[in-house]
């Protein structure tokens, strides 16, 4: 067993992208393919396409260049239009029209032309062009933003693809070509904003020297119409400005922020605004001074308003409390509905706890009718196997967007409560926590690139299906050969449910190891730790059963949802089984819908996850020779790790929970290959929080 434990530790070092020297692991792709292509792999056209446009600007020049290099069809006309000609479109929208002999891209703005050009090239690459067509596209969200959790020393919190792409130590004098490549990739999927730094922000990011560095990045991204935002520390007036307080109602503090904002906009005229994490996980905030989240957000919003900047105020709060952690964001923010300035938007994680493999949607969606909310999705796989596991997150996000809040009756989906369909907010936005790093393949795992791509596509159109996006991405990134496309698409679409099954099925959540979030540790007991930092707080396993009782007889978290959803969750017989242990503490012998006892179903579900990953290995091995060897070998290697990790998860969870159930693991599934005592000795030293 000692050898097995060592193997697991080595696997973990590989998973974090670090070897024994602590240097980032770099995976090199086939030299015949550009490192910065990702899904933009269309071959250069043999002849320059004919492109007509009567305007010029840096953005239009980029648009023309993309089409000249890669378009292989009829001449293309780029037309900036007046509102009455394409009145149905939003600011970033566009119309594509194909008639015999020409293509016309029409938009209100130059960024609309750029997005339209990338759409046209996508149709070409995915073999979806028709002889004649008219397509109109407008984004569902005004701001489609990546949140980088990148630190100023270039480490990346919850990042698994090497160091940050922002080379702060070399800026402003040296400019990486990756900044422009980053802009191009994001523009190709409609992303129009980025937060450069970690939400756990030091005050230093607002120093004059740092702002000069930020300006350079903003200048590089501007032609792609990507606005730069910064995460800020709420105590900056005291920590950076030397004031005795950072009280948001103090006149000197208000003056300091106004002066700092003016300084920023003098350097970066199109600066987007601030992202703020306050009074959460020990970070400072307005509550330190007896003020509310609204007081703090509004003070910053007032400073930004003259420049059309916005405040994205995170609702991720869970200070020490006896209240169920799943209820805390709702409890803090729902009473403040209607008290925020128009240029404040509340950023809410998709679920009420913390980016778990599966959560019900946060009850804040639909509940705050007078305050715009922006979903926060996690692209980086903090809780889903880092850059080792192939997990296509579009399936998770499709489930999230289509969840019915019932806030306006049936059909009031999360998508409609956030994209302006309901409530008519001044501003709509969506954020994705980036999985980008300095590794040669950008994301640590070639299939992790699909999650970056999927976020951009769903931020533009929240009704796109995971199947559609997977099909697009495979065709653009690898090949349209059905021998590769069909099985790999099926694998991607199965991957999310598979990961849930071998990690935390049936509503289990937060069983991760202490400090890092890679492997299982449902037994963790750290003396002096807050209860809501420990897995036992969530699984509540004992001899009688397992699960967190959030019914009216328990924490009453169900009351934060609208009827009839609250009643559905509250009733053990109607609660969806995928959320069963999220809302109920149930007996080990409880009869499931399949007629089996709960314990047996739990065991079969874990085993199904393991067996499915092994099927993924077979699917992938059959593709050898259909793509370049570098990417094939890389994914093959990672699938081996994922298969071993799935067994680790299954054995750890079932052997541990068996100590409470006292029941045998069904004999017709794969037997555990580890001993529980050995698994409990594994301690991996990696300290990250967010």
Domain ranges for the chain: 51-137, 143-468, 500-679
Q: At the topology level of CATH, where does 51-137 sit?
A: Chitobiase; domain 2 (3.30.379)
Strand positions, DSSP E, 108-252:
133-137, 143-147, 193-195, 227-232
Structural tokens at position 673 = 């290959």
- Options 281, 342, 525, 629, the catalytic residue: 281
pLDDT of residue 515: 79
Average pLDDT of 447-461?
Answer: 98
- Residues 539 and 392: their CA atoms lie apart, in Å, by 26
- Options 332, 382, 532, 645, the catalytic residue: 382
Whether 324 is catalytic is no
Cα dihedral 569, 574, 576, 581 in deg (nearest 10): 60
Whether 354 is catalytic is yes
- The model's confidence at residue 682, banded by pLDDT at 50, 70 and 90, is confident
Structural tokens at position 421 = 């369909």
Percent of the chain at pLDDT above 70? Answer: 94
- Residues 380 and 162: their CA atoms lie apart, in Å, by 12
pLDDT of residue 311: 98
Count of helix runs (H) and strand runs (E) in the chain? 20, 15
Q: Give yes or no for residue 13 having a pLDDT over 50.
A: no
- CA 128, 192, 355, 151 dihedral sign is positive
pLDDT of residue 83: 65
Q: Give yes or no for residue 662 having a pLDDT over 80.
A: yes
Which carries the bigger pLDDT value, residue 6 or residue 498? 498
> To the nearest whole number, what is the mean pLDDT of the chain?
93
Average pLDDT of 410-422?
Answer: 97
Q: Render pLDDT for 344-386 as a digit per residue (tens, 0 to 9).
A: 999 999 999 999 999 999 999 999 999 999 999 999 999 999 9
pLDDT of residue 318: 80
Average pLDDT of 431-446?
Answer: 97
Q: 120 with 77: CB under 8 angstroms?
A: no
Q: 307 with 333: CB under 8 angstroms?
A: no
Residue 510: which of 251, 292, 325 has the closest Cα? 325
Structural tokens at position 646 = 């799935």
Q: 663 with 475: CB under 8 angstroms?
A: no
Domain 143-468 listed as CATH 3.20.20.80 = yes
Determine the 3-state secondary structure of 425 from DSSP. coil
Q: At the topology level of CATH, where does 500-679 sit?
A: Alpha-d-glucuronidase, C-terminal Domain (3.90.1330)
- Options 92, 354, 404, 549, the catalytic residue: 354
- Residues 86 and 104: their CA atoms lie apart, in Å, by 13
Whether 376 is catalytic is no
Q: Give yes or no for residue 6 having a pLDDT over 90.
A: no
Q: Render pLDDT for 22-69 as a digit per residue (tens, 0 to 9).
A: 333 333 455 445 667 999 998 898 999 999 999 999 999 999 999 999
State the DSSP string of 556-573.
-GGGGSPTTHHHHHHSTT
Query: Residue 20's Cα: distance from chain center in Å?
Result: 29
pLDDT of residue 424: 87
What backbone torsions phi and psi does residue 107 show, to the nearest 5 degrees?
Answer: -155, 160
pLDDT of residue 551: 98
Structural tokens at position 164 = 């940050």
Percent of the chain at pLDDT above 90? Answer: 88
- Residues 311 and 276: their CA atoms lie apart, in Å, by 7
């Amino acid at each position: 067993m000692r050898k097995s434990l060592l193997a697991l530790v080595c696997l973990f070092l590989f998973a974090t992208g670090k070897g024994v020297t602590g240097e980032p692991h770099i995976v090199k792709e086939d030299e015949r393919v550009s490192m910065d292509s990702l899904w933009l792999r269309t071959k250069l056209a043999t002849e320059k396409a004919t492109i007509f446009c009567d305007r010029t600007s840096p953005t239009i020049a980029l648009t023309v260049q993309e089409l000249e290099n890669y378009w292989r069809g009829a001449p293309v006309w780029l037309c900036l239009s007046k509102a009455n000609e394409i009145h149905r479109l939003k600011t970033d929208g566009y119309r594509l029209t194909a008639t015999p002999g020409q293509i016309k891209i029409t938009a209100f703005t130059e960024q609309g032309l750029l997005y339209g050009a990338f759409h046209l090239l996508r149709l070409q690459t995915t073999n979806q062009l028709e002889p004649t067509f008219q397509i109109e596209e407008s984004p569902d969200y005004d701001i489609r933003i990546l949140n980088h959790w990148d630190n100023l020393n270039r480490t990346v919190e919850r990042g698994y693809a090497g160091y940050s792409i922002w080379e702060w130590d070399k800026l402003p004098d040296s400019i990486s070509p990756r900044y422009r490549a980053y802009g191009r990739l994001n523009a190709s999927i409609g992303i129009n904003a980025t937060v450069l730094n970690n939400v756990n922000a030091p005050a230093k990011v607002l120093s004059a020297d740092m702002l000069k560095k930020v300006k350079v990045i903003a200048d590089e991204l501007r032609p792609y119409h990507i606005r730069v935002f910064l995460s800020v520390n709420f105590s900056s007036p005291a920590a950076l400005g030397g004031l005795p307080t950072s009280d948001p109602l103090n006149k000197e503090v208000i003056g300091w922020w106004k002066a700092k904002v003016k300084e920023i906009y003098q350097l970066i005229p199109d600066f987007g605004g601030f992202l703020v994490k306050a009074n959460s996980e020990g970070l400072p905030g307005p509550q330190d001074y007896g003020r509310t989240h609204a007081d703090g957000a509004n003070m910053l919003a007032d400073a930004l308003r003259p420049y059309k900047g916005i405040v994205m105020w995170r609702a991720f709060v869970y200070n020490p409390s006896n209240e169920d952690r799943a209820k805390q964001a709702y409890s803090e923010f729902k009473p403040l509905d209607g008290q925020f300035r128009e240029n404040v938007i509340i950023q809410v994680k998709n679920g009420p706890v913390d980016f778990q493999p599966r959560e019900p949607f946060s009850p804040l969606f639909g509940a705050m009718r007078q305050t715009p909310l922006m979903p926060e999705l996690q692209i980086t796989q903090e809780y889903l196997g880092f850059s080792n596991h192939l997990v296509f997150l579009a399936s998770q996000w499709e489930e999230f967007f289509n969840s019915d809040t019932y806030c306006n009756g049936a059909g009031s989906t999360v998508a409609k409560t956030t994209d302006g369909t309901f409530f008519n907010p001044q501003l709509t936005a969506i954020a994705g926590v980036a999985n980008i790093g300095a590794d040669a393949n950008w994301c640590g795992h070639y299939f992790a690139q699909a999650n970056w791509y999927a976020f951009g596509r769903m931020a533009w159109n929240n009704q796109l299906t995971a199947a559609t996006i997977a099909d697009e991405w495979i065709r653009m990134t690898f090949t349209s050969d059905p021998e590769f496309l069909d099985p790999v698409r099926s694998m991607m679409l199965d991957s999310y449910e598979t990961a849930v099954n071998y990690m935390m099925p049936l509503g289990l959540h937060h069983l991760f190891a202490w400090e890092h979030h890679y492997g299982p540790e449902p037994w963790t007991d750290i003396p002096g730790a807050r209860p809501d930092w420990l897995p036992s707080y969530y699984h509540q396993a004992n001899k009688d059963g397992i699960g967190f009782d959030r019914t009216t007889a328990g924490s009453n978290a169900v009351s934060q949802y609208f009827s009839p959803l609250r009643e559905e969750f509250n009733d053990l017989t109607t609660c969806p089984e995928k959320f069963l242990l999220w809302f109920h503490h149930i007996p080990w012998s409880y009869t499931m819908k399949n007629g089996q006892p709960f314990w047996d179903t739990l065991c079969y579900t874990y085993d199904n996850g393991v067996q499915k990953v092994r099927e993924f290995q077979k699917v992938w091995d059959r593709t050898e020779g259909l793509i370049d060897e570098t990417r094939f070998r890389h994914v093959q290697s990672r699938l081996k790790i994922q298969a071993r990790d799935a067994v680790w998860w299954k054995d750890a969870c079932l052997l541990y929970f068996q100590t409470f159930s006292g029941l045998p693991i069904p004999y017709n599934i794969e037997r555990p290959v580890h001993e529980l005592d050995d698994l409990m000795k594994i301690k991996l030293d990696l300290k990250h929080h967010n």
